[in-house]
């Protein structure tokens, strides 16, 4: 994938959470975040912080590792889909999960997006999380091709 890149150093889990919370209000229907990184890189932590920022009331946000998908109603009237495709058996399961429809209608966060293959939306924002500083800090690499992300990313990263 070619496109635009922005890197941000997040010195702590709290900084990672703050960035996710800041991104949350900028999201709407049809926005897809593809969260990549090694096991323990902070993908689920990032997703939980973002989802909690969009919920109308405090709620438990479990990892969808075994259920594959968790859905939530947001305070903005757009459903939030959180998918963890690590245990996905094949592309036919992606269709069974209803992700293609969710990509168009919901705000979607997808962990292990490499499992999507050609089904990954070209309009998605890719977030690569890499552990640094012995695992406490993160380097977040944002990558996108769709111009609708330009302003949102510029606003989020102007102080980074």
pLDDT of residue 1: 62
Using the predicted structure, report yes or no on whether residue 160 has a pLDDT greater than 60.
no
pLDDT in tens, 95-124: 888 898 999 999 999 999 999 988 999 999
Domain of residue 151: give its range: 4-157
Q: Which residues, listed in sequence order, are joined to residue 130 by a DSSP beta bridge? A: 139
Give the pTM: 0.92
Pairing assessment for the beta strands 69-73 and 79-84 based on DSSP bridges = antiparallel
Q: Tell me whether residue 117 is exposed, middle or buried, using C-beta atoms within 10 angstroms of its C-beta: 0 to 12, 13 to 18, 19 or more.
A: exposed
Count of domains observed in the chain:
1
pLDDT higher than threshold 90 for residue 154: yes
CATH number for the domain harbouring residue 32: 3.40.50.300
Q: Give the lowest-confidence range in 8-22, 30-44, 58-72.
A: 58-72
Query: pLDDT per residue over 38-90, tens digit each?
Result: 998 999 999 999 999 999 887 788 788 778 899 999 988 899 999 999 988 77
Which helix or strand (DSSP H or E) is residue 119 part of? none
Give the model's pLDDT for residue 159: 66
Q: In what order do the strands lie in the sheet with 137-144?
A: 4-10, 137-144, 125-132, 32-36, 107-111, 79-84, 69-73
Single out the residue of 131, 132, 7, 109 nearest to residue 49, CA to CA: 109
Which has the minimum average pLDDT: 21-25, 83-87, 91-95? 91-95
């Amino acid at each position: 994938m070619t496109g635009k890149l922005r890197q941000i150093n997040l010195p702590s889990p709290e900084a990672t959470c703050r960035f996710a919370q800041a991104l949350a209000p900028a999201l709407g229907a049809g926005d897809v975040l593809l969260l990549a990184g090694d096991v323990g890189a902070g993908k689920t932590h990032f997703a939980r912080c973002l989802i909690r920022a969009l919920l109308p009331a405090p709620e438990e946000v479990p990892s969808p590792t075994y259920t594959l998908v968790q859905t939530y109603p947001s305070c903005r009237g757009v459903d939030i889909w959180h998918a963890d495709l690590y245990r996905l058996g094949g592309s036919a399961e992606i269709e069974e999960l209803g992700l293609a429809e969710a990509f168009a209608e919901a705000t979607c966060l997808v962990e292990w997006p490499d499992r999507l293959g050609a089904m990954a939306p070209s309009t998605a924002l890719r977030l690569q999380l890499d552990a640094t500083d012995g695992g406490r800090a993160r380097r977040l690499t944002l990558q996108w091709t769709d111009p609708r992300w330009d302003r949102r990313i510029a606003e989020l990263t102007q102080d980074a």
